[in-house]
Amino acid sequence: MSEMSTTEANAFKSLLRPDDSYDHGTYWADLSFGERIKFIRSVDSNERRRELSAIKDTFLAGCEGWNGALAWIGWIYGFSKLFAWYCKSAVLQGAGIGLEGYVLFSIGNIKPLLQSAFPTCWKSHKKYNPTWLHAIEYLEVVGIIFGQILVGFIGDWIGRRWGLIQDAVIMFVGLLMLTTAWGVTLNSWIIFYAWALFFYGIGVGGEYPMTATSSMESAVSSGKVSNREDRLHRGRKVTSAFLMQGWGQFLNVIILIIMLYITHRSGGPPYPEAAVHWTYRVSFGIPALGTLWLAWYRAKRMKFASEDLTAAKKKANVTGYDTQSLGLAFKHFGSRLVATAGTWFMNDLFFYGNKLFQNQFIEVLTPGNKSVMTTWKYNLINVAVSLAGYYLASFFIDNKLYGRKWMMIVGFMCDFVLFMVPACAFYFFTSKNHIHACQALYFLSSFFNQFGPNSVTFLVAAEVFPTPIRATAHGFAAAIGKLGALVAAVLYNDISTQTIFYVVPWFGLAGAILTLVFLPDTTGLDLKEQERRWSYIRMGREQGYHGTALHPKHLSVWERLRGVGKQYDLTADFEQRVEEMRADWEAWQVRKAEEKLKDEDEGLEEGSEFPEEVSNYFHRTATNAAKSRRDRSSDSYGEKTKNLQVQSSSETNSTER
């Protein structure tokens, strides 16, 4: 390192200590509180100006050539280019999750219509078996749990791409079953409906680990060094895909309202059976067409979705499922699994209970209402408020002063308070004079659930685990979360609305405690640093890693209490990363020599992954570096020999005694 010139040192620092994470060589989390605020505000301000400038340039490029009376065409074309960019980066990535939101929450949306049209079956249960009515909620959640575990395993075994394609095909078949569901009697139709939801749920369950891992890994550059987009906007990219869940819910309510107005113009009771059937079937038929297109898109356009997993397996010399990594992950990251699975369980008990039984809550807010349309309109307001929470979470998820962990804690605690207040004064808030206050509290609980645990759990369950077992860990955490939804589905069927308000808040408090103790904060952490730490763990050299993944800011309270992170040393880490980069550079040189490839054949120009100053340094110090490695190898061999001699002498003395 002493042989490095000033120009070469600056080149290495620009690569290994980028100015969006380091302030004159000091890691942002090591700055004093005042300096940290100043640094983060400066970086965020510069990034905001850069992004707004890029948006402006994209819009103006679309407007170019349209002047005078035709300028409005240019504006439309400019906005269409921006919308196309948004669709590519968020809508397509989160399409499967959007379908999950659409169909899963349609259960709560369409239930009051079915109860009104078929009261002896769906409401009074006089003629039909109520067990199958309850099974509608249970079986879909069971299917989701099965899909999350199964497809999470497949995603790490066969690859992300095949998991994504499989999910889309299963969801398409499930939607066809839902659209065409029929029976000789209403009871047999309900049984068909319940099992169709179970089958559809398998595909939806697989979307969780597949969408999270693929959107996250596509956000991280394939080179040895991450880029600015990775470091500053990784969380936003994943949550932008996840917020499609909110749009799925929104579209479901909109389509139901439109279809009921078309088939039954008054929108009020009584509801003819024909109108109900048309509304029900078209509401499932529309997403079936979208899912068929999604299956085609994933098969044809997402051919590199497994690229990061393939590279990780190649590095570890693994061809199938990496069972060694799974065992090591449980050993080193077990507390993180407690955090991700536990908080997801607590969140889903609240969130899915809220959504699956939202018509019960709406009944409290609209006493005496008999119109399904009124209930749906209130649902629409609730979903719109939730969407605001989704988007705000996406904007703040990468903010280093707030970020993942505090967003989760604040969201859990706000939900705790917002449900505890009406629980303690239920009749006061449900009285005619104070019902609007109850509405505000209910809608705010939806907002803080999205601007909090519901968005964060989806992200961190993938982010805190290494690539080889990321989908498995995410699928397991999501499955435990859905057990919370299953508990909600069972529990809320047997207790009153007032009791629900008493029960729900405590899960929010438990979620906040789990987050505080067991969840590490990955806000501002370069994901490639976590992968570096994992590579050392997998080689059995955990103590040899000294980088930022061991900073106290990025470790949980539990991990710090266990002594993790004591070897954090950025000076040693910088030298270590230079030598790792040298090894990559030497491998690149060997590959070029053996295959006689020109730089442009693989796009590996010296100015791209290895800048000229870096290559010059490695060329100039190659001899000294090789000698240093031989010396270290000799010292290591001598130390091993000495240890063997000591061990042999000890065994001899023991035998003589």
Q: Give the residue with greater pLDDT, 205 vs 485.
A: 205
Average pLDDT of every residue of the chain: 85
pLDDT tens-digit readout, 257-289: 999 989 887 777 888 888 988 999 999 999 999
Distance CA(347)–CA(492), nearest Å, equals 15
Asked if residue 296 lies in contact with residue 170, where contact means CB atoms within 8 angstroms, the answer is no
Q: Please list the alpha-helical segments (H only) found in 451-550.
A: 453-463, 470-491, 497-518, 527-538
pLDDT tens-digit readout, 558-568: 999 999 999 99
Does 346 have pLDDT greater than 50?
Answer: yes
> Dihedral sign, CA of 323, 212, 301, 308?
negative
Whole-number pLDDT of residue 547? 95
Does 599 have pLDDT greater than 60?
Answer: no
Does 442 have pLDDT greater than 90?
Answer: no
Residue type, 399: N
Candidates 337, 342, 336, 381; CA nearest to 358 is 381
Does 602 have pLDDT greater than 50?
Answer: no
Distance CA(296)–CA(62), nearest Å, equals 29
Band the pLDDT of 649: cuts 50, 70, 90. low
Whole-number pLDDT of residue 221? 54
- Residue that has been written with the tokens 């509401």 in this structure: 283
> Dihedral sign, CA of 199, 201, 207, 210?
negative
CA distances from 504 to 340, 377, 428, 456, 507 (A): 19, 24, 19, 19, 6
Asked if residue 242 lies in contact with residue 90, where contact means CB atoms within 8 angstroms, the answer is no
Distance CA(160)–CA(305), nearest Å, equals 6
Does 365 have pLDDT greater than 70?
Answer: no
Distance CA(279)–CA(285), nearest Å, equals 10
Q: Give the residue with greater pLDDT, 107 vs 113.
A: 113
Whole-number pLDDT of residue 220? 62
Q: Give the residue with greater pLDDT, 439 vs 174.
A: 174
pTM for the full predicted model? 0.86
Whole-number pLDDT of residue 439? 81
Band the pLDDT of 601: cuts 50, 70, 90. very low
For the record, the structure tokens of 448 come out as 């803080």
Residue percentage of the chain with pLDDT more than 70: 88
Band the pLDDT of 606: cuts 50, 70, 90. very low
Q: Please list the alpha-helical segments (H only) found in 322-434.
A: 323-356, 358-365, 372-396, 403-424, 426-429
Q: Please list the alpha-helical segments (H only) found in 542-608.
A: 557-561, 570-595
pLDDT tens-digit readout, 143-157: 999 999 999 999 899
pLDDT tens-digit readout, 295-333: 999 888 887 777 778 887 887 788 889 899 999 999 999
pLDDT tens-digit readout, 182-223: 888 888 888 899 999 999 999 989 999 998 888 887 766 555
Q: Give the residue with greater pLDDT, 516 vs 375.
A: 516
Whole-number pLDDT of residue 568? 96
> Dihedral sign, CA of 500, 503, 507, 513?
positive
Band the pLDDT of 634: cuts 50, 70, 90. low
pLDDT tens-digit readout, 30-63: 999 999 999 999 999 999 999 999 999 999 988 8
Candidates 179, 157, 176; CA nearest to 168 is 176
Asked if residue 129 lies in contact with residue 187, where contact means CB atoms within 8 angstroms, the answer is yes
- Strands, E, within 195-239: which ranges? none
Residue 569: DSSP 8-state: -
Mean pLDDT, to the nearest integer, of 80-105? 86
Mean pLDDT, to the nearest integer, of 398-403? 93
Asked if residue 239 lies in contact with residue 389, where contact means CB atoms within 8 angstroms, the answer is no
Band the pLDDT of 29: cuts 50, 70, 90. very high
Band the pLDDT of 655: cuts 50, 70, 90. very low
SS3 sequence of 77-94 = HHHHHHHHHHHHHHHCCC
* Domains located in the chain, CATH noted: 92-518 (1.20.1250.20)
